[in-house]
Structure 1
Amino acid sequence: MPWLYARDFNEVAKQSEKMGGRARHHAQMQAFQDILDECGFMDLGFVGPMCTWHKHFKDYTIWERLDRSVETSDWFFMFPNTKVYHLDVTTSNHKPLWIMLEGMECKQQWPFKFEKMWMIKRGCGDTIEVVWKENYEVSGEQKMLKKVNNCGKKLATWSKNSFGNVRRELEKKKEVIGKGRTVSSQWG
């Protein structure tokens, strides 16, 4: 099954991924590497600065590569040109990861994101259940990918019908609030 997993693992895989502060215990790094190996994950590597996290102390700074993206060999064979970029930001002590996939079709304007608010609205679970029960002409991992893809499309349609365009509505509300603040500041 092709898997890509990206997150703050809160651990370095080797001593060279840490600068400043005390050295990491080898056993601690080895345990992390063993888990990755047991799950069949390999590191995707990166483009950009090595360290993705830092913490400033009075006399020194610690820099570490805690955020990473790992993949299974199946993912590598399906998307061999996947690239992970470490982006620079000034608003966090973690650098965000930007993952570029080549060879994967993505026709949606916005990437699919499951919204927690959907869980309280009638119809969300039914939509998922209908998609999951559908028969597909493919098997194995292709069947799973097709179900996940179709589930995302159906939920996006369901959401638009149930909630409308949430982003547009939020912008309208912000505009009304802004006008209200302007009026209230004029009147004291």
Structure 2
Amino acid sequence: MSIKILMWNVQGAGKQAFMATLKEIIRINNPTVIVLVETHLSGEKAQRVCDRIGFSGQTRVEAQGFSGGIWLFWKEEEVSVTPFEAHGQHLTIEIAKIGDTPWLFSAVYASPDSIARRELWKALEYAKQNFSGPWLLTGDFNETRTMDERHGVGGSEMQRRCINFSNWMESNGLIDLGFSGPRYTWFRGDTPSTFKAARLDRFMANEEWHLKFEDAAVKHLPKACSDHCPIILSTNGFAPIPMVLKPFRFQAAWLTHEKFEEFISANWNNSVPLIPFLAEFSSRLNVWNKEIFHNIFRKKI
């Protein structure tokens, strides 16, 4: 049995849109564990929302005022969970499939404040010192490993931050688990001149965890009602979806691309029956998305 872990920074999501979107993500992906960060809720209001999500196990780190917050949910019938350590910026547990050996799992929301982030790195190091074995981390780290993981933000200070974060991962034996799907997990801006993006959300693990789950894979899911994409890990990887079963989805980010209108003008045809034409048009758009849209930022950086 695969353990699927869904992580989502829900910043900017309205309450109704968030709940409807989350239920649809759960329906499609069937996660075993859910991590929600930057929830901005605490106390009774947080508990009412958590109860609506409907998982049998739950715990959380309360938001501080209207910032932060980490919520963790799991299916008690599939995994066992033992609390390990709670901190304002991370929630760490021991987790295992029922009857299996536990491993360490940290759900992270790193503060935008650089001083507070340094406190988080030290807290995570301290947690790991008290556990010998596989360790998996996920969350919004508010950092990137390289400048290639950013678009629209540069400068020597950002380069220094990338180097420091990459060095911290290396010094703690942490491996980035990679991903498939959209290149960035955070997006902001509606026009090419204001568009900014970064891969702030990720899964990483130590070598012991990586060896235990050699087939593990990560997907970036489509962005919806938040500034961040949900991301999901499956310990046994994901079965390939046959092309005939893959639904076509329009991506709003395409509208920000300077050549999108040009593509529409060149490929739209009003003189043919609409339904069969849409199948052909969506196929062309998927090719454009793969060859042009997904590569344009790599060329500009």
Normalised by the length of structure 2, the TM-score is 0.33
Which residue matches 1:54?
A: 187
CA distance in 1, matches of 2:215, 2:165: 25
Residues 54, 64 of structure 1: 8 Å contact kept: yes
Deviation at 1:39, TM superposition (A): 1.6
Aligned to 1:64: 198
Following TM superposition, where does structure 1 have runs of at least 4 consecutive aligned residues deviating by more than 6 angstroms? none
Residue 8 of structure 1 is matched in structure 2 by 140
Is the aligned partner of 1:29 residue 2:162? yes
Matching residue of 2:21:
none
Alpha-carbon distance in structure 2 between the residues aligned to 1:89 and 1:15:
22
Once the two structures are superposed, residues 42-84 of structure 1 have per-residue CA deviations (whole angstroms, 9 ceiling, x without a partner) of 1000010110001116741101000000011001111001101
The one of 228, 235, 239 equivalent to 1:94 is: 228
Residue pair 2:179, 2:219 contacting (<8 A) in 1 also:
yes
Q: Which residue is equivalent to 2:177?
A: 44
Match of 1:142 in 2: none
Provide the C-alpha distance between the structure 2 equivalents of 1:8 and 1:21, rounded to a whole number of angstroms. 17
1:87 is displaced (CA, Å) by 0.5
Map of 1:167 onto structure 2: none
Identity of aligned residues (%): 31
Structure 1 unaligned residues grouped into runs of 5+: 104-188
Separation of aligned partners in 2, 1:26 and 1:89:
26
- Please list every run of 5 or more consecutive structure 2 residues that lacks an aligned counterpart in the other structure: 1-132, 238-301
Note the 1:50-129 alignment, pairs <5 A.
50-56=183-189, 59-102=193-236
- Name the amino acid aligned to 1:40: G
User: 1-side partners of 2:222 and 2:190: how far apart?
Assistant: 20
Q: CA RMSD in A?
A: 1.8
Q: How many residues align?
A: 103
| SS of the residue 1:25 aligns to | helix
Query: Given that residues 43 and 71 in structure 1 are in contact (C-alpha distance below 8 angstroms), is that contact kept between their aligned partners in structure 2?
Result: yes
Q: Which has the higher helix share?
A: 1
* Aligned amino acid, residue 39 of structure 1: N
Distance 1:34 1:21 in 2: 20
8 Å CA contact 2:147–2:154 kept in 1: the answer is no
Matched letter for residue 70 of structure 1: M
One-letter amino acid of the structure 2 residue matched with residue 85 of structure 1? K
Determine the C-alpha separation between the residues in 2 that align with 1:25 and 1:98.
Answer: 27
SS of corresponding position for 1:22? coil
What does the per-residue CA deviation read over 1:94-137, in whole Å, with 9 as the maximum and x for residues that have no partner?
0111111129xxxxxxxxxxxxxxxxxxxxxxxxxxxxxxxxxx
Relative to its length, the structure with more strand (as a share) is 2
Q: Which residue of 2 aligns with 1:126?
A: none
Contact 1:21–1:60 under 8 Å retained in 2: no
| Cα-to-partner distance string for 1:127-184 (whole Å, 9 max, x where unaligned) | xxxxxxxxxxxxxxxxxxxxxxxxxxxxxxxxxxxxxxxxxxxxxxxxxxxxxxxxxx
Larger-Rg structure: 1
